[in-house]
Amino acid sequence: MPKFAKIQVPLAGILRRGVAGETLATTAPEAESLRTWGAAALRQYKTALLILLMISAVAPCAWSQASTTASRPDETAPTSSANQPGLAPIHKYIAEGWDTLTRSLDECKSIVDTKVTTTSVLYLPADFEVPRAVQNLQAQCNVQAKHLPSVIHNLGEVDESKIDPAGLLYLPHKYVVPGGRFNEMYGWDSYFIIRGLVRDKRIELAQGMVENFFFEIEHYGAILNANRTYYLTRSQPPFLTSMILDVYDAKKEAGQEDRAWLETAYGYAVRDHNLWTREPHLAGNTGLSRYFDFGTGPAPESLKDETGHLAQVAAYFLSHPDVGREYLIQKKSGDNAQDNVGPLFAMQVCESTVSTMGKSECASAGGVSLSADYYKGDRSMRESGYDISFRFGPYGVATHHYAPVCLNSLLYKAEEDLARMADMLGKKKESAEWHERAKKRKDAINKYLWNAKAGMFFDWDFTKNEQSTYEYVTTFLPLWTGLATKEQATAVVKNVGVFERPGGLMMSPKESGGQWDAPYAWAPNQLMADDGIRKYGFTEVADRVSYAFLSNVLENFRRDGTIREKYNAVTRSSETAVTAGYKVNIVGFGWTNGVFLVLSHELPEGVVEKLGKE
């Protein structure tokens, strides 16, 4: 028998706008059943009509799998010395964690992927000889190795859905993974991991990770979301130039300056930048860029760990028709189910008594499916790294319609970094051209993304030609990248209270149920905000918000001996109540480890001593 989920929402929510509902019960052992009752709209009636949504069995079986646990036995384990005073225990945990989280092709655990239901395969570029290390891996771990179906020159050239089963993409050097379900090398995670590696003098490992990104550009068409086949359709926020310069500067400081390496790196950095400055990554005629995933349909990595998420989204859109009409497609009896890009939601109208919600006969009311544009937005949100937030509309549905503050601030920095690299390499003309491109982007950011009245930077919806009003912590990125004026930086810092809570900076003041909204604080944005604030001379504020986050991480480390991917900035806890997307708070954790080292190093000595006594 097929497994399916049932979701009931009030008919009034479909016919009228703004009808609030109340969750009554959940049932069914095989799937979730969410019954919502529009009492205010239907009070005068003894019976009510409810819309019943059922996820059809046409969906792949992976859509009904249970979530994975927060970490696997081979990941960073809690340390017994965590509650000892000082910072030595957490520094020891981080130092040992680099080794625990390091993956290479001489270890069987590197291939494991808990996000999908199939046994993972190792894939090599189509024109690549099988290395000896892969031959050994095949023999020792019983791993199947295959070549990709064709040579890849640019992102999106390969239909990832036809690579079956999904698998790990070969990389030549060791790399550090975030932890838990994230058992591969990620794009923007790696920047914050590399910051920590450089701080811990693990420069060779950091350099190897950067060179892995060169390999991805050369053989997989771009820096990928991560090195799995189902990520061959999208990248992640562009940090490559930042990683290159961090490694280059660290090697130079150690007396190992390598201009030849920088020359090679520069060529790959230019190719990475080109991805974001041509279609389809252009944000209309704004001169800015956007996130865009080349794939279609549900994101494969979400189907196991985010069970029920698509049903939740469909229910939301049905009860919010002002938004949902753009992302739901009405289906009639007899329509070909193969035309759907995702699961089909079959609707029924059922009569139930108000008092008992008893069972009754139901009549078919057709069905709905989520539109291709919904899936494009969802996938593009995942390229942004901020999955899931309501910043780009409910569940990030309109991500690809926006010119974001984060992406364009990072591209401004990349252009200035490329100017610096070109200058160091004696390419004076190219350096001047990069400075000019950075200036044009800065002008466009000020035109579309700056709001002087609010004193913050906001994303721009180029399809509606209007600025968002969604307050988000990415408003600090123009400070981190140095594009903000002193006046803009002063205004932004005055608004720090919008995000500042006892345990750090929340992503936004909105509680959406998504992990990238309130009340959560995340290491990468904490670092960029803190360093941006410090760059413009607001040292006291930077120390304060850094201390709040670091002490939150340390307090929870002393409680359970682990470091997590995110923290509750309000309760100063690692406990989470995420309702949109995957629910666990993963142990490890790569970028939190790196950010803890960097931010604690930037604090004054007396503040660090105070932190150690917390």
Give residue 581's pLDDT band: very low, low, confident or very high (50, 70, 90): confident
Model confidence at 11: pLDDT above 50: no
Is the pTM higher than 0.75? The answer reads: yes
Q: How many CB atoms sit inside 10 A of residue 127's CB?
A: 11
How would you write 27-43 as a 3-class SS string?
A: CCCCCCEEEEECHHHHC
- The whole-number pLDDT of residue 355 equals 53
Q: Is the confidence at residue 332, as pLDDT, over 90?
A: no
With a cut of 60, say whether residue 522 has pLDDT above it: yes
With contact defined as beta carbons under 8 Å apart, do 467 and 451 qualify? Answer: yes
CB within 8 Å of 582: residues ≥ 6 apart: 67, 181, 302, 305, 306
Sheet holding 6-10, edge to edge: 22-23, 33-37, 6-10, 47-55, 344-353, 362-370, 328-331
The pLDDT of residue 31 is 31
pLDDT of residue 353: 60
Q: Which residues are catalytic?
A: 387, 565
Confidence category of residue 306, pLDDT binned at 50, 70, 90: confident
Is pLDDT at 51 greater than 70 in this prediction?
A: no
What average pLDDT score do residues 326-348 get? 77
Specify the long-range contacts of residues 108-112, CB closer than 8 Å, at least 24 apart: 108/137, 108/140, 108/141, 108/143, 109/74, 109/183, 110/168, 110/183, 111/137, 111/141, 111/143, 111/167, 111/168, 112/72, 112/183
Q: Given a cut of 50, is residue 173 above it in pLDDT?
A: yes
Q: Reduced to 3 states, what is the DSSP secondary structure of residue 426?
A: coil
Q: Tell me how far apart the alpha carbons of residues 64 and 378 are, in angstroms, rounded to a whole number.
A: 19
The pLDDT score that the predictor gives to residue 335 is 67
Please report the pLDDT score of residue 338 as a whole number.
Answer: 60
- pLDDT(58) > 60: no
List pLDDT tens digits, range 216-243.
999 999 999 999 999 999 999 999 999 9
- 499 vs 484: CA distance, rounded Å: 19
* Residue 551, both tokens: 């002490």
Q: How many CA atoms lie within 13 A of 258 on its CB side?
A: 16
Q: Quote the percentage of the chain above a pLDDT of 70.
A: 84
Q: For tokens 């201009």, what's the residue?
A: 259
pLDDT score of 154 more than 70: yes
Residues with Cβ within 8 Å of 174's Cβ and at least 6 positions away in sequence, in order, are: 102, 103, 104, 205, 208, 209
Helices (H) and strands (E) in the chain, counts: 20, 21
- Report the chain's terminal Cα–Cα distance, integer Å: 55
pLDDT of 39 reads: 33
Closest alpha carbon to 277 in 123, 422, 453, 412: 412
Asked if pLDDT for residue 405 goes beyond 60, the answer is yes
Share of the chain above pLDDT 90, in %: 72
Question: DSSP 3-state helix, strand, coil percentages of the chain (rounded to 5)?
Answer: 45, 15, 40
Residues with Cβ within 8 Å of residue 175, at least 6 apart in sequence: 102, 103, 104, 185, 190, 208, 209, 212
Pair of tokens at residue 557: 């480390």
Of 301 and 67, the one with more pLDDT: 301
When pLDDT is averaged across residues 496-509 and rounded to a whole number, the result is: 98
Hey, what are 183's tokens? 């058992």
The model's pLDDT over 341-397, given as tens digits with 9 standing for 90+, comes to: 888 887 778 876 655 555 667 887 778 899 999 999 999 999 999 999 999 999 999
Instruction: Return the higher-pLDDT residue of 453 and 13.
Output: 453
Contact 328, 318 (CB under 8 A): yes
**pLDDT at site 339:** 66
Average pLDDT, the chain: 87
User: Each residue of 437-485: pLDDT tens digit?
Assistant: 999 999 999 999 999 999 999 999 999 999 999 999 999 999 999 999 9
Higher pLDDT, 25 or 337: 337
Domain ranges, ordered by start, for the chain: 6-63+306-378, 78-104+495-614
Is 340's pLDDT higher than 80?
no
Q: What type of residue is 360?
A: S
Q: Are 365 and 321 in contact (CB under 8 A)?
A: no
Say whether pLDDT at 178 is over 90.
Answer: yes
Give the closest residue to 61 by CA, choosing from 112, 134, 116: 116
pLDDT of residue 396: 97
